[in-house]
Chains A and B, each alone.
Chain A
Amino acid sequence: MLSHLRSIGLALAHTFAKRETIQYPDQKVDLAARYRGRIVLTRDPDGMERCVGCYLCAAACPVDCISLEAGNDEETGRRYPVTFRINFSRCIFCGYCEEACPTYAIQLTPDYEICEYDRKNLVYEKKDLLIAGQGKQHGYNFYRVAGMAIAGKDKGEGQNELPPVDVKGLMP
């Protein structure tokens, strides 16, 4: 009997507790930056695409919902994804792609409002994914630390690099 009264008392006490329910969609939930929602492709500090088409995100994806095709920009020497497609109707927002990405290109954002009436609208192409900014990771530029020469950064001009070896030099 006593325990019944205690339970009723506790339930009543909740009536006066602070509400957890919010009035969505009028009111939005406050999410941390690390929340795993809609996936975007970001750009480096110079405004160039960060994705280099290494296929690691696609390989890491447990539901295989990422597919891309890498291409080469003959003029600049940069590699980039010619197509980049994420099928969000398959995505489980696990964030493995973000973890696998060696260039901080692919990032998950706290945007969760991506419902569609038509499933095919959940297939996002590169133009839907690529954003203008750097996302969560500021300042990182893969080509600055990679050894490949690209337009505007020749061999030896990257971070922590010595000038190219003079093969025909005679110094010991």
Chain B
Amino acid sequence: MAKIKINGKELEVDPKKNLLEASISAGFDVPYFCWHPKLGSIGSCRQCAVVKYRDENDKVGRVVMSCMEPASEGSIISTDAPQAVEFRSNVIEALMTNHPHDCPVCDEGGECHLQDMTVMSGHTTRRYEFEKRTHKNQYLGPFINHEMNRCIQCYRCVRYYRDYAGGDDLNVFSSRNRVYFGRANDGVLESEFSGNLVEVCPTGVFTDKTLKKHHTRKWDLTTAPSVCVHCSVGCNTIAGERYGSVRRIYSRYNEQVNGYFLCDRGRFGYEFVNSDQRIKKYIIPAATEGVTKTTAFDFIAKALKGKKIVGIGSPRASLETNFTLKQLVGSENFSIGLSKLDYQLAKLAVDTLKNGSVKSPSLKEVEQSESVFVLGEDVTQTAPMLALAIRQAIKNLVKPKADKAGIPQWNDAPVREVIQSAHGPLHIAAPVATRLDDVATTTYYNAPENIARLGYAVAHYINNKLVLPSGLSEEVKILAGKIAADLMASAKPLVVSGVHCKNEDIIKAASDVATALKEAGKSVSLSLTFEESNSFGVVLIEGKPLEVLFDDAKTAKAEILIVVENDLYRRLSKERVDSCLSQFEQVIVLDHNCTSTTKKATVILPVGTFTEADGTFVNQEGRAQRFYQVFVPESDTAESWRRIAELAKAIEKPVVGESFFDFTKAVANSIPQCKGINGIAPPPDYKIEGQKVPRESHRYSGRTAMKANINVHELKPAEDLDSPMSFTMEGFHGEAPSALTTSYWSPGWNSVQSINKYQIEVGGALHGGDPGLRLVEPVVKGTYYQSIPDAFKVSSKGLVAVPVYKIFGSEELSAKAPAVKERSGEAFVVLSTADAVKQGLKEGETVEISMGNQITSMNVIIMKELAEGLAGISAGYCGVNPELSEVSFKK
């Protein structure tokens, strides 16, 4: 630790940091633009000037850029010396000369880093009277709005987009004060992480286009801490609501999970909440009169009396919801809502992490790994933020080059100069080309069976006691040897795999590679991806696969089926679901959006989405995370667990618990693996200085006018008995515990940059620790699976289907959001060049594909990377049979 002095205050800081980081961590307000905790310093904005003194006797000092000076032993600086203050105010005045008079119509206004810094630097009156330079804007797709006039040339966008997120279609053009940040031509930003530009840009050049459609200022949003529902990574988010609709999602900092960023699916997929497909009323299709809550529950009570009930939960519903349903129907009659294959895969993945010796890493730990081996996953499409973390991980082995040259790691430009395009080993084995291929050391495209065999070969070369799969070609052996050598050469290797190839052997092979590395003494981690936000959680809850439940229900002659937040047509083929549903007298569906399953329901009960419910999800790491209700909807919706409890009461089979916390406690007490989940966030009676944590900001506007057209007498605001937060602006307006962060704000810091004030150290953990609880930890001694599959053989019956996932389109909920829909396109089939020639198909052609007994029209994509005999089927797209089998073409 180095001893330094800032404004006369003696501090002990990490000498590997720079003075700006040290000052901000110590709580001093130093303005900055181009520096970002994740991007390092380049010293381009000249805004963080401070005065540095030679020694105690030096009274004059010199102006330096604090982001470009190391926090070396004995540094003495002043952030408020008159020279520094004057320098900063002159710089910002120069930066502002061309800034347009746009704030009232700018979506960034009110949470703009430029506004904050201008005020902080004391530039209040404009002296520049000459003409301003202007720029034409570009169309950048359905997610991002471009307003180039507002740019202050800090270069953060391109540094984030290109250097951090690995995109290459955003760049900087032209020279001097004409510098332009955009694409070479109008068009959709290709990176899956483009949404972070909204938060990275210190002003309003890149803003959220979905927010623009229903623009609301930050201070007017009712916000609550939430967890992303669009994949298994479980990124922390803050969801904001106004006038009964969700307005936007932005990142909630969690050092262990998503850090500062989110993927575009998580950021822009929220609009399914506002969809016109939402179920907002009780529906009994057979009813002749209007259905109310009373009539609906009377109907249910009568219909269910003395009948045998079975229930289907869902991997996209919370732990509490699944648990309550299981309580109602009994474990014999409960399914976790996955098909047999998906169930086996998810269970295998959970068991591997639970009983294995290798730790499942948090995204932060992924970022710290040194070499990566990906088996059978296009991580960018299936767990996007994991891919972003892998992009950071592969830089770790080359970073010491800068240390050797004496360059501190925060000094971004020279570090990049030293490293150039070098990166550590990233080996990818997948059925089709992946979005990480641009930084891959080697790629291996083959059938899932062969990917598993490659995995086993790698395991063999790490631990030669393990069996080498027979019949491997020389090339594959050399490749496996190279991968093994690379993994062994680094101290922190990472193995990534998951369920998305729908192949158990791949997960087993990945586990064997990781176990072998562990035995070799490496600090290895194994990251497995799941399909949905709570897949991990439902496996812990335990239940039958769908097929087994339906078979058992048939034998036991069950008459009633309750389906909660699950579209069965996405799990099993249409034919099978149709016949299974027809065996029940009543199909009661609880869901928030219309699905193919709700169409078959005899009773539909409206339930809330993640913004209208409290709950707990378990992410792919095994981390239980709490999400909170954002607002009280005016429709009939309620949380699923509450609905199930009401339903249970109606049929006189009450379940344990009334409020949310009762259910959380019940889960924690009944499921050994979930022990402690009631402690991941403060209990509902938690108060700070006798007050709840408010969901609305202290400057929330329009309270006495918003509903004045309906009733001029303001009604009592809703109370929240389930959480320690209030739905109003009344409450404690200081820093709440990290699990209850409803918004980031600090005096003088209205933008997201105020996150600095919530961290122990800039870019580090949150005050009081990052929220969430890991439910699985590795055991001491791991075992090997060693179930080597036979090599893939081209089938004579037809092409073998492999699922191909797309970040936009494959996930059920986000696909209902208009902006995501615009990016997802139609269902497609990927063919190898050879097979395309054989079938006489051309790229872009539409073809009828028959799989099982289901025929779907799909667009043809030809990919030379795909192995012959395979057909990549767009997974999760509308009309695509979820039961993959042989593919044949219907002419």
Interface residues of A (CB under 8 A from B): 52-56, 58-59, 61, 63-70, 72, 79, 85-87, 89-90, 102-103, 119-120, 122-123, 125, 142, 145-149, 155-156, 158, 160-165, 167-169, 172
Contacts and interface: CB of A to CB of B under 8 A. Distances in A.
A69 B243 contact: yes
A61 B701 contact: yes
A168 B130 CA distance: 24
Contacts of A169: 174, 178
A164 B135 contact: yes
Given A58-B220, A59-B217, A165-B133, A147 B100 contact: yes
B212 interface: yes
A147 B701 contact: no
Interface stretch (B459-467, B704-712, B796-804, B861-869): B704-712
A119 B109 contact: no
Nearest to A162: B131
Contacts of A53: 215
Given A64-B704, A87-B704, A146 B134 contact: no
26 contacts: A54-B103, A54-B104, A55-B216, A55-B217, A58-B220, A59-B110, A64-B702, A64-B703, A65-B705, A67-B701, A72-B213, A72-B215, A85-B705, A85-B706, A102-B103, A119-B713, A120-B708, A120-B712, A146-B101, A149-B137, A155-B136, A155-B149, A160-B132, A164-B135, A172-B175, A172-B176
A168 B220 contact: no
Nearest to B713: A119
B500 interface: no
Interface of B: 100-105, 109-110, 129-137, 147, 149-150, 173-176, 178, 180, 182, 212-217, 219-220, 243, 699-706, 708-709, 711-713
A78 to B, nearest CB: 8
Contacts of A64: 700-705
A143 to B, nearest CB: 9
Contacts of B104: 52, 54, 56, 102-103, 142, 146
B857 to A, nearest CB: 32
Contacts of A167: 135, 173-174, 178, 180, 182
A58 to B, nearest CB: 4
Given A56-B104, A165-B180, A172-B175, A123 B709 contact: yes
A165 B702 contact: no
A146 B219 contact: no
Given A52-B105, A102-B104, A163 B705 contact: no
B776 to A, nearest CB: 46
Nearest to A105: B104
B217 A165 contact: no
Nearest to A120: B712
A103 B101 CA distance: 11
A172 B699 CA distance: 47
A99 to B, nearest CB: 14
Given A54-B104, A72-B213, A165-B180, A87 B132 contact: no
Contacts of B100: 146-148
A155 B629 CA distance: 43
B705 A90 contact: yes
A55 B105 contact: no
Given A59-B699, A79-B215, 16 more contacts: A54-B105, A55-B216, A58-B220, A59-B220, A85-B706, A102-B104, A120-B712, A123-B708, A145-B101, A147-B100, A147-B102, A147-B132, A148-B102, A160-B130, A162-B134, A169-B174
B706 A147 contact: no
B709 A58 contact: no
Contacts of B182: 167
A58 B110 CA distance: 13
Given A55-B220, A160-B131, A148 B105 contact: yes
Contact of B701 (A59, A103, A148, A172): A59
A80 to B, nearest CB: 10
Nearest to A145: B101
Contacts of B131: 160-162
Contacts of B700: 64
Nearest to A165: B178
A167 B151 CA distance: 14
B136 A164 contact: yes
B134 A147 contact: yes
Nearest to B129: A160
Contacts of B701: 55, 58-59, 61, 64, 66-67
A155 B712 contact: no
B312 to A, nearest CB: 40
A86 B705 CA distance: 6
Contacts of B708: 65, 67, 85, 87, 89-90, 120, 123
Nearest to B701: A58
A61 to B, nearest CB: 6
Contacts of B713: 119
A65 B704 contact: yes
B105 A165 contact: no
Contacts of B103: 54, 102
A64 B105 CA distance: 21
Smallest CB-CB A-B distances: 9 pairs: A147-B100, A67-B702, A54-B104, A58-B701, A67-B705, A147-B149, A64-B703, A87-B708, A165-B178
A58 B214 CA distance: 16
A122 B708 CA distance: 10
Nearest to A84: B705
A164 B213 CA distance: 26
Contacts of A156: 134
B750 to A, nearest CB: 12
A148 B134 CA distance: 10
Most chain B CB neighbours (cut-off 10 Å) among A63, A119, A120, A147: A147
